[in-house]
Structure 1
Amino acid sequence: MSKRPDDFEVRRQHLKNLTDEELERRFWQLAEEIVKPLVELAYNHTSPAVERSVLLRMGFSSIEAKAIVEGVMKLGLLGKGAGNVVYRLAKKKNLPIREAGLLLVEGKAWEEVPGLFEGGAANA
């Protein structure tokens, strides 16, 4: 295996006159550029597993979360977020979040869910 030539001095030319503060700022700028596509992907894409995980953190059991996610998927609203569906239903019905989710688990109130997202960007 051949030894890699040392070209550090050549590669650092554009950085050598920067202060520590400027180097740190440059580092965070580049780090942000690297993760930006990942952040956008996370904001714009979800999966049943992610949505079940959200519901688990909202206090639902795995069986309850599975039922809610399946219902949300049947309505084609997974992109809106299963937790968001439960939250909006709770808000509309003036119920605690858990009670609203349990209504969905029991097969109730699903007819109201599509209407929770009508009305444009304010409701998206």
Structure 2
Amino acid sequence: MRREDDFQERRKHIANLTDEELYNRFWELTAQVVDPLLELGRKNTTPSVERAVLLRMGISSLDTQKIVEGCMDRGLMAHGTGHVVYKLSKEKSISIREAGEMLAQGKCWDEAAALFK
């Protein structure tokens, strides 16, 4: 079966855009796809899901529960526990594992929470 080539017809609405306009259009469309997924995740996450995310980030299973509880206590669950650990690691220029260990030990929670204000 041969597909009819309709590329020129389908691209008419973007044919006159500059590279910068195409770039911006790409990210606008990407946001339209991703934003509802992020919102769904914010509204429907669970401690179990958040622990699974942390495990996949290389955080020890013993530390995941402490981090999830810390996020719940501070109202950070909507941001995602993995995001909290990631942002703290970037802020302090340390590894994700080190950031997770610090949070599990009860350290840097105020600093982590401030990253989401």
Q: Which residue of 1 aligns with 2:110?
A: 111
Aligned residues: 83
Structure 1 residue runs of 5 or longer lacking an equivalent are 1-19, 22-37, 119-124
TM-score, normalised to structure 1's length?
A: 0.61
Structure with the higher helix share, 1 or 2: 2
Deviation at 1:43, TM superposition (A): 5.5
Deviation at 1:41, TM superposition (A): 3.1
Question: What letter matches 1:89 in structure 2?
Answer: L
Residues in 2 aligned to 1:68 and 1:43: alpha-carbon distance in whole angstroms: 17
Post-superposition, which runs of at least 4 consecutive aligned residues in structure 1 deviate over 6 A? Answer: none
Question: What letter matches 1:107 in structure 2?
Answer: G
Residues in 2 aligned to 1:116 and 1:50: alpha-carbon distance in whole angstroms: 22
Q: Which residue of 2 aligns with 1:81?
A: 80
Change over 3 Å in CA distance of 1:43–1:104 after alignment to 2? closer
TM-score, normalised to structure 2's length?
A: 0.64
Deviation at 1:63, TM superposition (A): 1.4
Structure with more relative contact order (C-alpha pairs < 8 Å, separation 6 or more): 2
1:95 is paired with a residue whose SS is coil
The two structures, once aligned, show a CA RMSD in angstroms of 2.1
Q: How much identity, in percent, do the aligned residues show? A: 52
Residues in 1 aligned to 2:42 and 2:72: alpha-carbon distance in whole angstroms: 18
Residues in 2 aligned to 1:60 and 1:94: alpha-carbon distance in whole angstroms: 17
Question: What letter matches 1:93 in structure 2?
Answer: K
